[in-house]
Structure 1
Amino acid sequence: MTDRPRTLWRTPRSLVTLATAGVLALGLVACGGTTKDSASSTGDAGAGGSTASADPNAPLKKGLKLAFLPKQINNPYETIVDNAGIAAAKEFSGEAKEVGPSDASASSQVSYINTLVQQQHDAILIAANDPNAVCGPLQQARAKNIKIVAYDSDTAPECRDLFINQASSEEIGRSQVKLLGGMIGNKGEIAILSATANATNQNTWIKFMKDELTKPEYKDMKLVKVAYGDDDDQKSFQEVQGLLQAYPNLKGIISPTTVGIAASARYISGSKYKGKVVLTGLGTPNQMRKFVKDDTVEKFALWDPKNLGYLASYAAASLASGQITGAEGEKFKAGKLGERTIGKSGEVILGPPTVFDKSNIDEFNF
């Protein structure tokens, strides 16, 4: 960054909403005048293919039961998201909880979905570890009128009603390359340290990173490796160590995962690579503050995970109350975040990411 976090996108500070870090931002949907039926008449039956009609004037139901199913239960980022969603449920007199696996394997979430179906929840909110592994159980849940909201990491579109996206996936991916390129003069070998190999959000961002690198201005930047730390702290630590040993000319690393960037920063901060290899990616301010202040990391980005969970909670309540069906163009109100509109394929975007550096990191606490 330069003097001020070049917020690749600038949002009011009051929205510490890190929609700001919206790198991870989410698109919210709304119920406007368009119903699922009217959308269907133009060939859009919504992400899940439902033909139900929306009632934008329906009140949010009292006593709704929501369940957040993160990639893994001990992921600090996911905890922030889910706790915010659980708190939001109290605003509309609902009940919410977090359940999930301790590992982020492709099929680890399946048994939890089955249990939540048996418990007859009104909505399941899931950050998918694999876009397809959870589809069968989610479809069974939908057949029992349980609403499915994907957040952070999407399922296959036909397996859910809505996807609450931190930010535009393309914007996130391209912005990461721009951020790193600006710090290394668009020259040198770079690597990516991702989460799991099947993570939908990571793979989509990486696709756009690779496409961004094909532009003429990056002709002197070369992606030498995409490594996977499986959103495990120790494995991520070992992977970054391996990258730096295998590629002695490495100039920069992008780690678009909060676990990966923190583990990478911890390794680099105590190594000979500090000040020589540039690290950036997606992390939380509280997690990265010490590494920014000790000059291990100059800049990184993110959206406000609290707002992501808050938005997902209201989206699930709106679905379960019949205000929306998930069709493109529908609108709904998300409490303090205001009205949101559903985009193509049932996607709601939180907002643009915020870039953090020494000049602004102490303004945020999450």
Structure 2
Amino acid sequence: MTVRLRAPRRLMTMASISALALTLAACGGTTKDSAESGDAAAGGNATANPNAPIKKGLKIAFLPKQVNNPYLTILDNAGIAAAKEYGGEAKEVGPSDASASSQVSYINTLVQQRHDAILISANDENAVCGPLKQAMGKNIKVVSYDSDTAKDCRNLFINQASSEEIGRSQIKLISDQVGGKGEIAILSATANATNQNTWIEFMKDELKKPEYSGLKLVDTVYGDDDDQKSFQQTQGLLQARPNLKGIISPTTVGIAAAARYISGSKYKGKVALTGLGTPNQMRQFVKDGTVKQFALWDPKNLGYLASYAAASLASGQITGAQGEKFKAGKLGERTIGANGEVILGPPTVFDAKNIDQYNF
């Protein structure tokens, strides 16, 4: 967190993001009770019917990394609103902490409640796999969003942007702000977050390029998507690294907490900060000069896309196979890529010139 951008990217697994089904839409007459695991993985053995209508009354649930994450709240609320457009019922449930196994009990409950689709932003790609596979074995569609699970534990992954683009773009942003030279550090979310780790790997790879030879990554710390811990980690990082020139925080909770600390410290104007955040939470820090640029996509659109993807799965319009297409309401037609991935689109870079044009 897990929105929360028109620049290279780093995260990847929004999202993305959803799935539903009261009957096995791909096989006439097969019910949720009788379905085993034939279409458990993306695509599976099911057959898509692109002309099938979206079923009415679909029950879907958004399971974020944690329910008090502002970015994921915006995202989930947009997905819940989208469900009303196609006549479905949606809700958000989840833990208050972002530990690796905190989502497992919620998955089990949603399976017992016979939801048609579970949309999950995974805290740990493997910890949730067992119960998600059980859900798919009962013909409950699984869509990961924002932060992916292991690929065989869901039908689709709704990604906010290309993970590679996100990661590489973060290095470009920080390099531009520190003049291409100096020590930099990363303030991440949880140590097991799939999207964070994927972005960080692409950041490290980008740093190998000759144009970034003047940058040195000296530390990666984890705020666990907790505001106070992220604030304290920023403080500790700056005290332990007196030569630090810049911080990348690819998490909306982390970048806001880091900006709050830097804005009231002696480091303001001396240590650059960039990452992924929402315009509303970062506006004051851009206007007071603490942050020059940061990036993000529109979390509302990510939640909206995930919701429609889940409905299309649950209705049998798609199975999750590469090349299949579905209509996502106002966002238009989308195509499923390799490994069941659907990408929302490029992120936007926010700065003092454009930040007032956005309200989320």
What is the CA distance between 1:281 and its match in structure 2? 0.2
Contact 1:258 1:284 in 2 (8 A): yes
Contact 1:262 1:287 in 2 (8 A): yes
Partner of 1:292: 286
* Alignment gaps of 5+ in structure 2: 19-25, 28-38
Query: What is the rounded CA distance, in whole Å, between the counterparts of 1:108 and 1:28 in structure 2?
Result: 18
Residue 280 (structure 1) aligned with residue 274 (structure 2): yes
Read off the aligned partner of 2:196 and give its amino acid letter: Q
Paired residue secondary structure (2:220): strand
- CA offsets per residue over residues 199-257 of structure 1, 9 Å max, x none? 00000000000000000011110000010000000100010101100100000000000
2:145 aligned to which of 141, 151, 164 = 151
Q: How does 1:210-359 map to 2 (within 5 A)?
A: 210-359=204-353
What is the CA distance between 1:22 and its match in structure 2? 9.4
- CA offsets per residue over residues 18-70 of structure 1, 9 Å max, x none? xx9998887899xxxxxx99xxxxxxx99536110000000000000000000
Could you list the runs of 4 or more consecutive aligned residues of structure 1 that deviate by over 4 angstroms after TM superposition?
Answer: 20-29
Read off the aligned partner of 1:304 and give its amino acid letter: D
Query: What is the rounded CA distance, in whole Å, between the counterparts of 1:105 and 1:176 in structure 2?
Result: 26
Say if 1:49 and 1:89 are closer, same or farther in 2 by CA, change over 3 A. Answer: closer
What is the alpha-carbon root mean square deviation over aligned residues?
A: 2.1
**What percent of counterpart residues are identical?**
79
Contact 1:22 1:351 in 2 (8 A): no
Partner of 2:7: 8
What is the CA distance between 1:185 and its match in structure 2? 1.2
Partner of 1:41: none
1:206 aligned to which of 200, 216, 228 = 200
Say if 1:304 and 1:23 are closer, same or farther in 2 by CA, change over 3 A. Answer: farther
What is the CA distance between 1:183 and its match in structure 2? 1.0
What is the CA distance between 1:8 and its match in structure 2? 3.5
- CA offsets per residue over residues 140-182 of structure 1, 9 Å max, x none? 0001000000000000000000000000000000000001101
Query: What is the rounded CA distance, in whole Å, between the counterparts of 2:128 and 2:40 in structure 1?
Result: 19
Partner of 1:17: none
Read off the aligned partner of 1:244 and give its amino acid letter: L
TM-score calculated relative to the size of structure 2: 0.90
Read off the aligned partner of 1:144 and give its amino acid letter: K
Say if 1:25 and 1:129 are closer, same or farther in 2 by CA, change over 3 A. Answer: closer
Aligned pair count reads: 338
Say if 1:22 and 1:207 are closer, same or farther in 2 by CA, change over 3 A. Answer: closer
* Alignment gaps of 5+ in structure 1: 1-5, 10-19, 30-35, 38-44
